Structure 1
Amino acid sequence: MFYLKSIWFFASFLIFISCSGKNQTTISPPNILWISTEDIDPAWGCYGDKYAHTPNIDQLAAEGFIFTNASANSPICAPARSTLITGMYATSLGTQHLRSEVPLPKDLKILPEILRDHGYYTSNNSKTDYNFSHEGRWDDSSNKAHWSNRAEGQPFFSVINFMITHEGPTNNTDPESLKKDFEFRHDPDKAPIPPYFPNTPKMREIMAHTYDLISIFDKGVGDIIQQLKEDGLFDNTIIFVFSDHGFGLPRHKRWLNNSGLQIPLVLHVPQKYKHLVSNLNSQKVEDLVGFVDFAPTVLELAGIGPSPYMEGKNFLGAKAIKNEYIFGFRSRADDCYDMSRSVFDGRFLYIRNYMPHLPYIQNAVIFNQAKQSMEELFLARENNTLPQTMEQYFHKKPITELYDLQNDPYELNNLAEKPEFQNRIENMQMELNNWMVKHRDSGMLNESEYMIRAKGSSVYECLRNNKSFDPEKTIQAMNQVGTNVDETLIKMLQDNDPNIRYWGLVALEASGLDAAAVTESLYLLLEDPSPINCIMSAKILILANKDPKAYQTLVKYLQNEDEVTVLHAAIALRLLEEKAQPLVPTVKADIFPKYSGNVWGRYKNWSYPMFIGMALDQARINCGEEIDIN
């Protein structure tokens, strides 16, 4: 094994020499270290946050670079991390939902595999959460993984993930237990409270606690830097420090606003490798950078050619390519299905909500399950003191949103209805349409539909090789959602393409049209070859008139063997509210037991069964049952 590693190291050394310029022939490939944490905004001192206490990160930034327009592309862990490690949009791979098990093309290699093939030792400690299997893709991916386990002199790519700032610890009901060995405390009375949060003592405590956890992470960064120095590696290692998306708080994590997408990113580059970042001319870098760009950039730093699969752009060095836009996506989070996409040009953020009838904060376990920040919002609602900008998230979403972040950094004023911005919206929507078509955005199909079509292959290949998927026609259908679609709607429900029929059903729900006008079409769709169309038509018929046949159809798919199909049937059941009552006995006796287990004391595992269980639990709660969820 050592012999093979030595061969690969020598090969990568030669490659690095050939790619690094005339005067750099004696420099070995750089080590590359990613230090990532969970669920935080750019709440570091180096970003001008005077409340933050982050001396170690700030010192790195003082000697390096601060990226002010970095984005996770997705505002929640798994799709963001899938994008990060592949250099491909999660929407291209079908990995944009939290949490899923998606097949990838057999010949697709993710970043650590490519680096390993070129002589790098690759280690990940230890979170993956990619929505696909990480097995065999790292030299070591475990809680003991470390650069010190490599062969002598071998360059390394290492990822160290911190969990301390995750929304779980952030919303912990016993916050002091997490900080007992850390003396520094932020003063709650001085905590910055965004205008969309209630400015209450409890909210200030939550925010102060959030910043305390960030300081603990900062100490961890300092410890890693010290270890690099003790190992004699600091001057040979390019370091990225970043978060995986916004705060683990409402209006941040799960939200497609800038508050959910923007991440802090500090880059440290040793003097000997400054030629690799020759395009950076100042400490603050305003270039648009997304997670999708990290992998191709690392390959360029390592002197390796780009992967044919990767969709991101290298943003460092002489071959850097500037992004004109950053694209974002919000899909299923837990058991709350959604489909929203965004475009950001450095100032304006445009969001298109393709399921505007579904509020951001739904009646779902994930929002009701003893999270301190959510409890504070619910209390403020009861007391009629919740800011209107937060209240709106309990209701239907706007079809389109446009925010001027230069003049409205908190994204309080939606400009989408103002006449003077219509040309900008049309242009950004066109960019979004083109992006979705170019990359075959899997969100153009329902999750259950594309997973069924991809069996025996991969979602990526299916959406490119299957002639039954027409992205241009689908985009046209999707853009009917939220418009006056009376005549068009009937045609969509009767279209030969099951995907167009699906978007017809979405448009029907979003429009609020009387289902009686399309009852005949809905009854036919109860027998549709596409399960999701049967499920959605059943839900609409039940909401309209508690149709017995529709209940039978929903039970059929709740009892299906395909877990993704069951998940979407369970989501439909939850959205029925109290009209789910006739199915509660069947759920208790026959369906929930299949997905029960020890996760949270109730669910079988952390993937589809967990979210099936959560949806079924909330459906029972909606019908008057009391269920204790840890």
Structure 2
Amino acid sequence: MKAIMVMFDSLNRRFLPPYGCDWIHAPNFQRLSEKAVTFDNCYAGSMPCMPARRELQTGRYNFLHRSWGPLEPFDDSVPEMLRKAGVYTHMITDHQHYWEDGGSTYHNRFDTYEFFRGQEGDRWKGRVPAPGETLATDHHAALHRQDRINRQYLENEADHPQTRVFDAGIEFVRTNADRDRWLVQIETFDPHEPFFSYDRHKAHYARPYDGPQLDWPTYGRVTETAETVQHVRDQYSALLSMCDASLGRVIDMMDELDLWDDTMLIVCTDHGFLLGEHGWWAKMVQPWYDENIHTPLFIWDPRAKAKGQRRKSLVQTIDFGPTLLDYFGVAPTERMEGHALGQTVASDTPVREAGLFGAFGMHVNVTDGRYVYMRAPRDASNRPLDEHTLMPTHMRWQFTREELKRAELIEGFPFTQDVPVLRIPGMPFGAGNAFELGTLLFDLETDPGQEHPLEDPQIELRMINLMLELMRANEAPESQYQRMGLPAHGPADLTHTRLGRAPPAEVPWPSGEGRQLAGQK
């Protein structure tokens, strides 16, 4: 028994042919859907990148207890559990966040790993400032400078870190195809921004354009023209087509080596990316709309041999780890909230009624697969909001001394296995104000574009109580109930409903042919 997980970053399901997109060049995703099961109701959980990877490894939601950060000493790690059970685990990635302060404990859970440099603002190639040039103190400006330097070393597609990741992944599989009991995680940062690709992929989306060249949109409201929005979407699409070509190499290899009989294949992502929808760019500064949180998922399980079929059951990222454990005959821990998906792949057996999702300090969200409820904080203070950690690091830096002066050691939770944790007043990771954005309820059956928020207190109340059930199962801290204006014990009632905010902003879509090419109906 062997397993291959191919993981992309920021892969938007609405840009994929198996999910109804008929204009993008992605034949290998379509080919994959004919060789595997396609999930129609997969949702991410904890956002963004490293919180998603924490729940992938631990089978637990992350976002109610802490923001971006490493694996904790008390966490159950699926790669480590597999390794201890005699399954060889290997990770290949160009995702530089694993090597930053806030991700530094994930890759060492694998037996071996490989890292390829150069994505985004990866501090890779050194370039001393020229005379008269000063290094920017602004973090984002520094990232952009580093990215410009990195690109000078990636002129050929063969040199691109995505290409090198898939080269190494294919090498690992070819080297070990005749061995048993291994897992390889082939993980690329793409199609995450910046949307840097090559002419052969851009040719699929060539159109007249004389505006500013932009492949790295800011996180915030769309202020650009419709033509520039379309240009950015074309840049994203070209990079997605490059990802599709890399995926095709994996499928070709599985065909050539006849691996389908004994090798599980999971193709997934951590989240999507907003490209002008709802009047927003990117993520983390707006509610978690469907384009960002409703993710693509494909699974081939050689035990079930189901292919070319759809699955409607609601599944989440927290299920991926337990699925791998089950496949290799390793029992999950009682702390895991996810479920093995073997029977869901085989016969669409449901594993949950509802699922949570969100980012630390932003909306707390719940879906049952039809309705999506986005609960905003009770007031603009967004307090109390506490980090719970024994690894006090943020994304690229350690907690400051001022933050740590406010830390207190408290009794742990059952999932920390009786280990005490630091409780530290926190700040939301994103720049958006969830209170100002308001509480929203959507019916995806009648409003798949989430353009018309519902005002139905009875449906809202049902969704609140589903949310409370999941928060309690997650051992959410008391501060989260206070922040959300929800009862920590017992059911909610109509006094806890709060709908009625303004609908999302109008979207500056392209019109005519451009709108059709952008995949908008």
TM-score class normalised by the smaller sequence:
0.5 to 0.7
Q: Which residue of 2 aligns with 1:45?
A: 17
Q: Which residue of 2 aligns with 1:97?
A: 67
CA pair 103-50 structure 1, distance change in 2 beyond 3 A: same
Q: Which amino acid aligns with 1:409?
A: P
Task: Give the Å deviation of 1:259.
Answer: 2.0
Q: What SS class does the counterpart of residue 273 from structure 2 fall into?
A: coil
CA pair 414-356 structure 1, distance change in 2 beyond 3 A: farther
Q: Which amino acid aligns with 1:354?
A: P
Q: Which residue of 2 aligns with 1:561?
A: none
> Is the counterpart of residue 428 in structure 1 residue 399 in structure 2?
no
Q: In structure 2, what is the Cα distance between the partners aligned to 1:131 and 1:253? A: 19
Check the 8 A contact 2:377/2:434 in 1, yes or no: no
Q: Which amino acid aligns with 2:241?
A: S
Q: How does 1:446-461 map to 2 (within 5 A)?
A: none
Q: In structure 1, what is the Cα distance between the partners aligned to 2:208 and 2:231? A: 8
CA pair 162-405 structure 1, distance change in 2 beyond 3 A: same
> Is the counterpart of residue 348 in structure 1 residue 394 in structure 2?
no
Q: Which residue of 2 aligns with 1:253?
A: 283
Q: What SS class does the counterpart of residue 300 from structure 1 fall into?
A: helix
- CA RMSD for the aligned pairs? 3.2
What are the superposed Cα offsets for residues 350-374 of structure 1, whole Å, 9 maximum, x if unpaired?
0111166389xxxxxx9xxxxxxxx
Check the 8 A contact 2:10/2:190 in 1, yes or no: no
Check the 8 A contact 2:366/2:467 in 1, yes or no: yes
Q: What SS class does the counterpart of residue 296 from structure 2 fall into?
A: strand
CA pair 142-409 structure 1, distance change in 2 beyond 3 A: same
> Is the counterpart of residue 65 in structure 1 residue 37 in structure 2?
yes
> Is the counterpart of residue 316 in structure 1 residue 352 in structure 2?
no
Q: In structure 2, what is the Cα distance between the partners aligned to 1:257 and 1:151? A: 40
Task: Give the Å deviation of 1:217.
Answer: 0.1
What are the superposed Cα offsets for residues 393-421 of structure 1, whole Å, 9 maximum, x if unpaired?
88953442101112222212222xx3xx1
Q: What SS class does the counterpart of residue 305 from structure 1 fall into?
A: coil
Q: What SS class does the counterpart of residue 461 from structure 2 fall into?
A: helix
Q: In structure 1, what is the Cα distance between the partners aligned to 2:379 and 2:37? A: 39
Check the 8 A contact 1:313/1:321 in 2, yes or no: no
CA pair 34-436 structure 1, distance change in 2 beyond 3 A: same
Q: Which residue of 1 aligns with 2:483?
A: 478
Q: Which residue of 2 aligns with 1:274?
A: 304
Q: How does 1:534-549 map to 2 (within 5 A)?
A: none
TM-score by length of structure 2 reads 0.62
Higher relative contact order (CA 8 A, sep 6+): 2
Q: In structure 2, what is the Cα distance between the partners aligned to 1:480 and 1:395? A: 14
TM-score by length of structure 1 reads 0.52
Q: Which residue of 1 aligns with 2:259?
A: 233
Q: In structure 2, what is the Cα distance between the partners aligned to 1:148 and 1:248? A: 37
CA pair 297-135 structure 1, distance change in 2 beyond 3 A: closer
Task: Give the Å deviation of 1:148.
Answer: 4.9
Identity of aligned residues (%): 23
> Residue 116 of structure 1: which of 58, 69, 83 is its match?
83
CA pair 283-117 structure 1, distance change in 2 beyond 3 A: same
Task: Give the Å deviation of 1:101.
Answer: 4.1
Q: How does 1:482-561 map to 2 (within 5 A)?
A: none
What are the superposed Cα offsets for residues 138-183 of structure 1, whole Å, 9 maximum, x if unpaired?
011223573456595222211111223112x23xxxx5xx213546
Q: In structure 2, what is the Cα distance between the partners aligned to 1:307 and 1:269? A: 22
Q: Which amino acid aligns with 2:446?
A: N
Q: In structure 2, what is the Cα distance between the partners aligned to 1:330 and 1:429? A: 18
Q: In structure 1, what is the Cα distance between the partners aligned to 2:362 and 2:283? A: 15
Structure in which a larger fraction of residues adopt strand:
2
Structure 2 segments unaligned to the other structure (5+ residues): 116-167, 210-220, 383-394, 396-431, 489-521
Q: In structure 2, what is the Cα distance between the partners aligned to 1:87 and 1:434? A: 17
Structure in which a larger fraction of residues adopt helix:
1
Q: What SS class does the counterpart of residue 179 from structure 2 fall into?
A: coil
Q: In structure 1, what is the Cα distance between the partners aligned to 2:16 and 2:107? A: 34
Task: Give the Å deviation of 1:187.
Answer: 4.5
Q: What SS class does the counterpart of residue 41 from structure 2 fall into?
A: strand
Q: In structure 1, what is the Cα distance between the partners aligned to 2:31 and 2:435? A: 44
What are the superposed Cα offsets for residues 505-536 of structure 1, whole Å, 9 maximum, x if unpaired?
xxxxxxxxxxxxxxxxxxxxxxxxxxxxxxxx
Q: In structure 2, what is the Cα distance between the partners aligned to 1:356 and 1:409? A: 29
Q: Which residue of 1 aligns with 2:380?
A: 357
Q: In structure 1, what is the Cα distance between the partners aligned to 2:4 and 2:55? A: 18
Q: Which amino acid aligns with 1:428?
A: M
> Residue 241 of structure 2: which of 206, 212, 215 is its match?
215
Q: In structure 2, what is the Cα distance between the partners aligned to 1:66 and 1:206? A: 28
CA pair 326-199 structure 1, distance change in 2 beyond 3 A: farther
> Residue 52 of structure 2: which of 58, 66, 80 is its match?
80
Check the 8 A contact 1:39/1:248 in 2, yes or no: no
Q: Which residue of 2 aligns with 1:32?
A: 3
> Is the counterpart of residue 412 in structure 1 residue 444 in structure 2?
no
Task: Give the Å deviation of 1:111.
Answer: 1.1
Task: Give the Å deviation of 1:242.
Answer: 1.7
What are the superposed Cα offsets for residues 270-318 of structure 1, whole Å, 9 maximum, x if unpaired?
4xx226x6xx9x7111110100111111222222222222111122227
